[in-house]
Amino acid sequence: MATSSAPQSPRLQRQLGLWSAVAVLVGSTIGSGIFRSPAGVADKLPGPLPLMAVWIAGGLFALCGALTLAELSGAFPETGGAYVFIREGWGRMPAFLFGWSELVLIRAASLGAISTTFAEYLLRVLGHDPSVAPYTDYVHYVAAVAIGFTATFNYMGLRWGSLVQNLTTLAKYGGLLFIILCAFALGLPKTGGHYTPAAPPGSFHIAAFGLALVSVLWAFDGWADLSFVSGEVKDPRRTLPRAIIIGTLAVIAIYLLANLSYLAVMPVEEIRHSKLVAADVAQRLLGAPGVILVATTVMLSTFGTLNGTLLTSPRVFYAMADDGLFFRKVAAVHPKYNTPYVSILLVTALGIVVVLLRTFEQLADTFVTAIVPFYALAVGAIFVLRKRADYDPPFRVPLYPVVPWMFILATMFLLGNAILDPSSRWPTLAVLGIILVGIPVYYLTVGRKRAAS
Q: What is the block-wise mean pLDDT of the chain (453 residues), using blocks of 10 residues? A: 46 87 92 83 93 95 94 93 95 95 86 86 82 88 94 90 90 91 93 91 88 85 89 93 95 96 94 84 88 85 89 92 91 92 93 81 72 94 96 95 94 86 86 94 80 55
The reported pLDDT for the residue numbered 184 is 95
The reported pLDDT for the residue numbered 9 is 58
Q: Specify the length of the chain in residues.
A: 453
- How buried is 338 (Cβ within 10 angstroms: 0-12 exposed, 13-18 middle, 19+ buried)? middle
Give domain limits for the chain.
20-452
Cβ atoms of residues 164 and 24 within 8 Å: no
The reported pLDDT for the residue numbered 4 is 39
Task: For the chain, count helices (H), then strands (E).
Answer: 20, 0
- Alpha carbon 159 to chain centroid distance? 21
- The CATH superfamily assigned to 20-452 is Amino acid/polyamine transporter I (1.20.1740.10)
The reported pLDDT for the residue numbered 2 is 39
From residue 165, give the alpha-carbon distance in Å to each of 159, 160, 174, 301: 10, 9, 14, 10
Smallest CA-to-CA distance from 318 within 307, 309, 329, 334 is with 329
Cis peptide before 401 (omega within 30 of 0): yes
Q: How far apart are CA 429 and CA 435, in angstroms?
A: 10
- How buried is 195 (Cβ within 10 angstroms: 0-12 exposed, 13-18 middle, 19+ buried)? middle
The reported pLDDT for the residue numbered 299 is 87
pTM of whole model > 0.85? yes
- Alpha carbon 125 to chain centroid distance? 25
Q: Long-range contacts: 123-132, Cβ < 8 Å, 24+?
A: 124/295, 125/292, 125/295, 125/296, 125/299
Task: Please name the amino acid found at residue 14.
Answer: R
User: Could you please report the per-residue DSSP string of 45-101?
Assistant: S-SHHHHHHHHHHHHHHHHHHHHHHHHHHHH---TTTHHHHHHHHH-HHHHHHHHHH
The reported pLDDT for the residue numbered 6 is 40
From residue 301, give the alpha-carbon distance in Å to each of 99, 137, 154, 210, 347: 27, 22, 17, 26, 20
Q: How far apart are CA 297 and CA 117, in angstroms?
A: 12
- Alpha carbon 230 to chain centroid distance? 16
The reported pLDDT for the residue numbered 238 is 92
